Structure 1
Amino acid sequence: MFQIHLGTLSSCQYNLYETFHFRKNMKRIISELYVRDNCHPFKASLLIWVQLPLWVFISIALRNLSLAASDSSAVSVAQNLSVGGVLWFPDMTLPDSTWIMPISLGLINLLIVEIVALRRTELSKFQKCVTYMIRGFSVLMVPIAATVPSSMALYWLTSSCVGLGQNLLLRAPNLRTLCRIPKMKSDSDTPFRDLSAAFLAKYFSRK
């Protein structure tokens, strides 16, 4: 019995040793691929770290201008915002009481999340967690956008519309060819048809 236990323990140690060296070699190979193809993941996320602070600062600036009370120049801008709205939000210093912009903001953000999620055939656990977190944040943005000045909600909605447009336009084969974006094996010649089919299959197909 004692010899069998030692043999089992030795086998476990051997498996751990092989796993450790496998992961070490895998990291080395991946690092070499990053250097060879100049495609480190940080470069792909660099734009986010630039956009996010910019989005926050512009939002704070719009809030301060909309709620200005002391600074004479800021008051002048706030007065212009109070009469510079259109359609259902004539006063951009007040929240959107109709909830049209907040709800549109939430729907567009959710649509962007689903478009990105449908591009992958199978998500990892981490990617699923991130996707659910972004979905929750998109829903949370609806009541937040309903309580801030319309100038902020309009900026958020415009930013989300631009993001949706980018996600759709960068799928177009003609635009990718015009911008000289290399074609990958996973790219489709009919991306919009495939996207609509995947969307319908995921949410409207009968199981």
Structure 2
Amino acid sequence: LTRVRSTLTRVRSRSCCYLKPGPHPQPAVRGVSGGGAGAGWYGGLADSAPVHLAEQFLVGVQQVSGLPWWASIAVGTLSVRTLVTLPLAAYQMVIVAKVEALQVEISELAKRLQYEVSVRAKERGWTDKQCQFQFKRNLRRIVSQLYVRDNCHPFKASLLVWVQLPLWISLSLALRNLSLDQLGSESTSELAAGGALWFPDLTAPDWTWILPVCLGLTNMLIVEVSSLHRPTGSRLQRLVLNSFRALSVLMIPIAASVPSSMALYWLTSSLVGFSHNLLLRSPVVHRLLQLQTQRSDSPYRDLLAALVNKYLK
């Protein structure tokens, strides 16, 4: 009995030691990043290789420049959009200009094709449905040949979107991971003290809503300026324009619920993108790109006049 009692006493003492309160290591969860992205597809996206490369890029910019984090985010955004998206935007303008220049030739060829199809229809007794089929099929073939001849397939004009959107998502998730790192890394602590003015903590949302509201106004300005040079007569075009307007407004509460680092990046990206759009309107840029379409010699004055006429009169 004495031996049993002593054994039970030792077991109880060890159990008490094991059950003492204190910090316990948390098990690692697969597919969950340091930012607490959660499991599932979103967690996998936040823990993907492009996002980690974006994290390394942002941290590298901050370490090399020695700037505070808010300035490093602005510098990194400016460098990426200038070195990557600006050349693609210029290339998109060249492709669009070539496609527009082909419209006159396509119209003339379509009239000639219509005549040839009508002649062939009389010879072979085609119905109206067969005539339309032959006309559309041959017109598509002719247009494709023209695109190949001038190296201006319209799909090439969409390269900007296919590059800019993944880049925007990667940098946004990278900043979220750095801001919400639960392991207390050095970058997270520096982000917490790397803000300025009314947003000193970049890991917390901007409770003043200044950054989100500025983001919404900037995006709305970009949408309205873009709509001045695009036709909005059809129902589909008005639906697309109103959808972009609604998205600009929706981004305000979204930006108010994320870390200030993300809202700052979104605002900086929109401002840089808007400045690039203005730069690409310059006649000097058009001459450098050898654009064939006719442009105004005073694009900025015309843009301001168009805005005033549309919204202030």
> Deviation at 1:121?
4.6
Please point out which of 194, 198, 203 is paired with 1:93: 203
> Deviation at 1:96?
0.8
Given the alignment of the two structures, is residue 114 of structure 1 paired with residue 236 of structure 2, yes or no? no
> Deviation at 1:41?
1.6
CA distance in 2, matches of 1:154, 1:126: 33
Q: Residues 191 and 121 of structure 1: is their aligned pair in 2 closer, same or farther, counting only changes over 3 Å? A: farther
Which 5+ residue runs of structure 1 have no aligned equivalent? 1-12
Q: Residues 201 and 15 of structure 1: is their aligned pair in 2 closer, same or farther, counting only changes over 3 Å? A: farther
Given the alignment of the two structures, is residue 79 of structure 1 paired with residue 189 of structure 2, yes or no? yes
> Deviation at 1:173?
0.9
2:174 alignment partner, SS class = helix
Deviations, residues 167-206 of structure 1 (Å, cap 9, x unaligned): 10000112333xx11234341111111111211222222x
Deviations, residues 119-148 of structure 1 (Å, cap 9, x unaligned): 125555444333222222111111100110
- Say which one has the larger Rg: 2
Q: Tell me which residue corresponds to 2:298.
A: 190
Please point out which of 22, 28, 39 is paired with 2:135: 22
Q: Tell me which residue corresponds to 1:171.
A: 281
TM value normalised by structure 1: 0.83
Does 1 or 2 have the higher relative contact order (CA < 8 Å, sep 6+)? 2
The residue type paired with residue 274 of structure 2 is: L
CA distance in 2, matches of 1:131, 1:122: 8
CA distance in 2, matches of 1:23, 1:176: 34
Q: Residues 158 and 31 of structure 1: is their aligned pair in 2 closer, same or farther, counting only changes over 3 Å? A: same
RMSD (Å), alpha carbons: 1.9
Q: Residues 124 and 46 of structure 1: is their aligned pair in 2 closer, same or farther, counting only changes over 3 Å? A: farther
TM value normalised by structure 2: 0.56
Task: Pick which of 60-69 and 23-32 moved more.
Answer: 23-32
CA distance in 2, matches of 1:165, 1:83: 29
Over the matched positions of the two proteins, sequence identity in percent amounts to 55
CA distance in 1, matches of 2:175, 2:136: 49
The residue type paired with residue 19 of structure 1 is: Q
CA distance in 2, matches of 1:67, 1:152: 11
Q: Tell me which residue corresponds to 1:54.
A: 167
Number of aligned positions between the proteins: 188
Q: Residues 152 and 108 of structure 1: is their aligned pair in 2 closer, same or farther, counting only changes over 3 Å? A: same
CA distance in 2, matches of 1:51, 1:116: 17
CA distance in 1, matches of 2:231, 2:237: 12
> Deviation at 1:47?
2.1
Task: Pick which of 128-137 and 47-56 moved more.
Answer: 128-137
Q: Residues 148 and 122 of structure 1: is their aligned pair in 2 closer, same or farther, counting only changes over 3 Å? A: closer
Contact 2:231 / 2:237 at 8 angstroms: preserved in 1?
Answer: no
Which 5+ residue runs of structure 2 have no aligned equivalent? 1-125
Q: How does 1:146-165 map to 2 (within 5 A)?
A: 146-165=256-275
